[in-house]
Chain A
Amino acid sequence: MAEPRKIIRSKDLSFWQKIYIPEIFKGLRITLSHIFKKKSTYMYPDERFKPPASFRGRPVLVEENGEERCVACGLCSRVCPALAIEVQASETELEKERYPVKFEINMVRCIFCGFCEEVCPEEAIVMSQNYELVFNSQEEAVFGKDKLLTPTTRLHDRLEFLRQYR
């Protein structure tokens, strides 16, 4: 373990430091120089933050060729530490044989840990870049398949990121 750095306060200040006024002007130089620096504020509703691909926003279901990739294995629901995901499986004629009849994420419970994305064998649930979550009630916060399904085109950044770093 590294020792915490000791704060050294020098007791023998020089004459110019003691009369304090030159030090005030040093401080002023720093603060005044900041006036002309680039501001870090986003003017929010006009100018939005575009998160990087590694950003973990609202979890969504990946929609490919009009169908969800999800095979309703329930792993995400098992791994979710906040118990936010509920999956009900059923059979389908398609190649994947199983699909979720009901897939709900309670966004009030979700903690954006990304475990569901990590555990998913089909890369069917991923964290999107959407961070604007507003609800008026608890019921509204439960997102069903209608809100979760997102076409691959809109998740391109994240899927690319997962391919590279996982």
Chain B
Amino acid sequence: MMQLAVLSGFALAAFAPLFHRWFGDRASFVFAAYPAALALWFLNQLPAVMAGETLVLAMEWVPSLGMSLTFVVDGLSLLFALLVTGIGTLVLIYAGGYLKGHPDLMRFHLAILAFMVSMLGLVLADGLFTLFVFWELTSITSYLLIGFNHTDLEARKSARQGLFVTVAGGLALMAGLAMLGVAGESWSLRELNAMGDVLREHDLYTPLLICLLLGAFTKSAQFPFHFWLPNAMAAPTPVSAYLHSATMVKAGIYLLARLQPSLGGTEMWTVTLSVVGALTMFTGAFLAIRHTNIKKLLAYSTIMALGTLTMLLGIGTEGALIAFVTFLLAHSLYKGSLFMVAGILDHETGTKDVTAMGGLRPLMPITAVVAMVAALSLAGVPPLFGFIGKELMFESVLEASAWRWLVLLLAFSAAILTIAVAAIIALRPFFGQRRQTPRVAHEAPASMLLGPAVLAVLSLVLGLLPVLAGAGLLTAAASAVAGTPVEVKLSLWHGINLPLLMSLVSLALGYLLFKRWDRVRARLALLDPLISRGPEAGYDALMDGVVVVSEWQTRVLQNGYMRNYILVMILTLIALIGNSLLLRHAPQFHIALDVQFHEVVVVGTMVMGALFATISRSRLGAVVSVGIMGFSIALLFILFSAPDLGITQLLVETLTVILLVLVLFRLPRFSSLSTPLERVRDVAVAGSLGGLITLLILTSWSIDQFVPISDYMIANSAPLAHGRNIVNVILVDYRALDTLGEIFVLALAAIGVFAMLKLRAPEKPKKSAPAKENADG
């Protein structure tokens, strides 16, 4: 079963500590076998999926609720699954080198394996519930991974920010998915995709689309939720390479692509996605060049790529969808590679600042070559795969239907900025004057070079032979996104046309920008006050607000005064009961007073006991009154057919009085502590509750809602349970577990009493027996 193979990853994650004991630091390579095996399995499915088949691996989860664990492998899922498992394998190997000897390597493996499984489940899930569960799991595991260096305040803060933003989006997503399920009357994505026409006309279309987009945009760091992604760079670089370029941030994009056949194509979809995508694209590229930290540069350029993908889905033409899958694959390849290169630079030089590096090429020749290839792909220079992606992107933007000129302008400027970013990453550290770095730079170990090298080579090979990707995987993926068969024919040379021209102009301008980067950055510093008021300031204000509100409500509600707590609870109770009793159901009762004189005397004694206990000014008076009340109750029990209760009450009451006399007299005398006004308030509150209870009892007698179950107990006590005292039979037979629990409670109370009396600084011992003597219940 495929499901089990995927979910077994969770078990593997749970056993990570064991593997570490066996294999030590080499455990990374052992773990890498897991995604590698899955990747092979997925590759094996490629021929079938290419032939247009959709693999459905049905599995029930909670059939009664319509929840299934069904996995579906179509072109889109397969593309993502291959990225998740393929890059996952390389990242695990890379992490083995990068985090070698890290004391918490085990924790890292645990979290990243759990993440891998969650992400895989997310892209394979067919059921909406399953999708949502895996979606949330990626949020939680990524929180653990971003906050991996948990002793670092910044890392903790960033992890929390990422969690809050994505989980808030997750809530919106949940609402959206629920509405989607209601609108389509199905919880299966496959079935929903077949009924796009119904969904697009449905009344719920607008609200459900808003909710789903909120979920997707927060997850995929679209403007204005982009700010959490650069902060997430606090994570170790393997995490950034995996989660924040190739996989998790693309979950939102995946969801949009998945829903394209069922929800796409409307004006709302087209305009929102193209404009938000284009804005994100430009924001990412623009903010990137302000930074000198190599990981931030890459993070912002990832935002730019995510914006591009959203925009292409928004444009939604056949050409745009082809561009979408091509760009997606190209980006995952070069960005994964570049992140790993960034990690190598950080690891080997001890700094993340590109302006502090220089002339590293002779020292790290392989890294330099890999970085160059990947960066050329990022810049979109032929003959790399990124070039094809960019060409197709320009082509699609030219045929955009909504807001074409704005989108075109933003896309073109973003391309220029991206080229500058690519040049900064590839040229700045490796060429120019040699600079002194905190650590003496040298070539990285093979385990760290393997990942980026493989991805860079793939970028090059697919660029030279685009048919390798285009004919198979990407055709299937584009068809899945479009919902109809699409033929993807990729080629490096499209002839001299507008897109090529745009590419050339952007290359030239981008290089110019790179040359003047230092001066541009100084200029852009003037904008800092404006940028610091961006969406992140809104997030911070919101968080501060939450703290202020919770401080305020703690001060009001949790003020430490016992009576206020009781007052709040009682008033709530009065409001709830009163609302339900007086307003919803008129109190109804027929009073049939059938009393005998001696009964009135007993009840009267009981009430007097309660009254004197309340108003007595001496402790002894109160205790005696309570005792009188208790014995009256025992008498009542006996009068009204409950001899067992009467006996128990008598015993317990006797013990209680003894206990109170023994203990309470070590406490001070009663003192009058409250003001008359407070007393009036308390009488009013207590009186209203008492009155309500009376009404409640009277009403409940006149309503018979259920057939009592005691008839069964009476009828079966002797034949089945062989007991003649039905109350006892209930206690030890019908409700035996209850009684067992009760015995536990008493034993605990007895231990507690004993401990409080006996365990103390040496002093004379005290009585401790009373709680044990009533096992008769």
User: A and B from one assembly?
Assistant: no
